[in-house]
């Protein structure tokens, strides 16, 4: 239990060092990862089931060559693609938001540095150092969050494309 308390204190100290913007970045990254994990779980469970159901609906059709059958096939593929892509634009938005929040942390930290310089002159290096760390830590956190998110959003998007292509191949027009 001591390790948990030590970890909690380290995270708390880190958040205090980065200022209030770092807390906002932390919540943004947390939400992004919750949505990513939800999509990964959905791909293993709900999307597979939906794909099987749609394939069964298609296979149950007596004819597959008419214009009406083509429209139904397109509807099934579109339904699958919408379910697979659900939430990915929100994840992409959160990924793009992370570096912007980091930049906001940089600006607020530099404002703190300039305030210290205005009050105490440019000779007080210790006071300036806290503002510089408050400026750089949110930037680093925003970039780390964005990089991890970009990697996984790319994997999710490719998986969606692959799953949709597989469904398109499976819903053949032969019969």
69 lies in which domain range?
2-170
Supply the pLDDT for residue 121.
67
Supply the pLDDT for residue 88.
93
Distance CA 173, CA 160 (A): 22
Instruction: Give domain status of residue 160, yes or no.
Output: yes
Supply the pLDDT for residue 73.
86
Whole-model pTM?
A: 0.79
Q: What is the pLDDT of residues 75-109, one digit of tens each?
A: 988 999 999 999 999 999 999 999 999 888 888 87
- Number of domains making up the chain: 1
Instruction: Give domain status of residue 154, yes or no.
Output: yes
Supply the pLDDT for residue 122.
62
What is the mean predicted confidence (pLDDT) over 123-146? Answer: 78
Instruction: Give domain status of residue 40, yes or no.
Output: yes
Distance CA 143, CA 157 (A): 21
Instruction: Give domain status of residue 175, yes or no.
Output: no
pLDDT at residue 152 greater than cutoff 60: yes
Under 8 Å between Cβ of 63 and 69: yes
Instruction: Give domain status of residue 166, yes or no.
Output: yes
Q: What is the pLDDT of residues 23-47, one digit of tens each?
A: 889 899 999 999 999 999 999 999 8
Q: What is the pLDDT of residues 103-127, one digit of tens each?
A: 888 888 788 777 777 777 666 666 6
Supply the pLDDT for residue 130.
67
Instruction: Give domain status of residue 139, yes or no.
Output: yes
Distance CA 60, CA 116 (A): 74
Instruction: Give domain status of residue 86, yes or no.
Output: yes
Q: Residue 81: which residues within 8 A CB-CB, separation 6 or more?
A: 160, 164
Instruction: Give domain status of residue 159, yes or no.
Output: yes
């Amino acid at each position: 239990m001591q390790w948990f308390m030590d970890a909690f204190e380290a995270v708390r100290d880190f958040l205090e060092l980065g200022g209030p913007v770092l807390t906002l970045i932390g919540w943004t990254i947390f939400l992004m990862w919750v949505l990513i994990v939800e999509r990964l779980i959905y791909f293993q469970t709900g999307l597979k089931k939906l794909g099987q159901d749609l394939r069964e609906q298609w296979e149950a059709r007596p004819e597959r060559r008419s214009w009406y059958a083509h429209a139904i096939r397109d509807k099934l593929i579109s339904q699958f693609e919408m379910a697979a892509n659900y939430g990915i634009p929100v994840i992409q938005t959160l990924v793009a938001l992370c570096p912007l929040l980091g930049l906001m942390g940089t600006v607020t930290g530099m404002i703190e540095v300039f305030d210290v310089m205005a009050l105490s002159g440019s000779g007080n290096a210790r006071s300036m150092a806290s503002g510089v760390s408050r400026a750089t830590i949110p930037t680093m956190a925003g970039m780390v969050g964005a990089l991890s998110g970009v990697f996984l959003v790319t994997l999710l998007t490719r998986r969606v494309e692959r799953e949709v292509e597989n469904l398109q191949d499976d819903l053949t027009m032969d019969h």
